[in-house]
Structure 1
Amino acid sequence: MQVDDVDRRILRQMLAAPDAARAELAERAGVTAASLWRRIERLREGGVIRGEEAVIDWRALGWAVEVSLRFTLEKAHPRAFDEFLEAARAVPEVIEIQTFLGLTDVRLNVIARDMAHYQEIYRARILTLPHIAEMDALMLISTLKDSEALPL
């Protein structure tokens, strides 16, 4: 899909003020409300805008611990990867799953209310995931940059 400078302006304004009313977005992007609506619809149909969502800060809801777990999986079992992912998706405290090429096969981000809760999740849900060959844990200390903004 072809994206022009006006589309980029609209996208920048949507990222800068995601809760702004459409009339305000149109004004900020320098287009009419009708033009904004048509362009947003075209960007949705073209797959550039996949959706608009509420971003909820899980920390504000009392989840204080985040751990990134890196896994290397057993390669002998033909369905090891699929079975691991299926089991990991079923763990409610897993908020992100990423797969990689290289030494690490899968990375899970896990949240917990506190360290005791994390220990419970780790023992009951993480260690029971199938086909784990190796695992490494990284505890999040601070987030220095957390942005999905694009250089538009």
Structure 2
Amino acid sequence: MLDDLDRRILRIWQAETSLSPAELAERCAVTPGKAARRIARMQDAGVIEGISAMVDWATLGYSVEVSLRITLDKTVARAFDDFLVAAREVPEVTEIQTFLGRVDVRLNIIARDMAHYQNIYRSRILTLPHIAEIEALMQIARIKAEEALPL
């Protein structure tokens, strides 16, 4: 589905997302029109889902990041659905992942400080439906966070 030019466009754009369309075309050694058509085709095909801004939460005052591993009460028929609907409503939840195994869901939570996290945990997380068990993992450092694919 992707040819060498498509891969080159994606590889360069992933490495430098701030490039303008003209700069991207120049780096790929094609005309701006050709690059734009390729990008539009990849967007239409769902290869490129969107363009987003990466926000440095620490710069905005969020210094605490906690990962919660949650096991749900699977005796309730709609436990997953009910939980996921409610978890999406918590603004400090930045990521939700589901798993097969003992742990059902992982929530990533950001907070300004430990007092703020404690408030979020008590007032928003513990009120989520069908929780059987929670394990909290506090992030110390992010060693690698790569969204780019090796194209």
Smaller-chain TM-score bracket: over 0.9
Kindly provide the amino acid, as one letter, of the partner of residue 120 in structure 2: I
Partner of 2:23: 24
Equivalent positions of 1:63-142 (< 5 A) are 63-142=62-141
In the alignment, the residues of structure 2 paired with residue 87 and residue 148 of structure 1 have an alpha-carbon distance, to the nearest angstrom, of: 27
Cα distance in 1, alignment partners of residues 32 and 83 from structure 2: 47
Deviations 1:3-48 (A, max 9, x none): 0011000001111111111111011111111110110011001110
Amino acid at match of 1:149: A
Q: State the SS of the aligned residue for 2:53.
A: coil
Across the aligned residues of Structure 1 and Structure 2, the Cα RMSD in angstroms comes to 0.7
Q: Runs of 5+ in structure 1 lacking a partner?
A: none
By how many angstroms is 1:74 displaced? 0.4
1:78-132 deviation line (CA, Å, top 9, x unaligned) = 1111111111111111111010111110000011000010011111111111111
Q: What count of residue pairs does the alignment treat as equivalent?
A: 151
Specify every segment of 5 or more residues in structure 2 that has no aligned partner in the other structure, as ranges.
none
Write the distance in 1 (CA, Å) between the matches of 2:65 and 2:75.
31
2:53 matched residue in structure 1 = 54
**1:101 and 1:135 mapped to 2: Cα distance?**
16
Q: Normalized against structure 2, the TM-score is what?
A: 0.97
Sequence identity percentage: 64
TM-score by length of 1: 0.97
Q: CA deviation at 1:55?
A: 1.4
Residue 142 of structure 2: aligned partner: 143
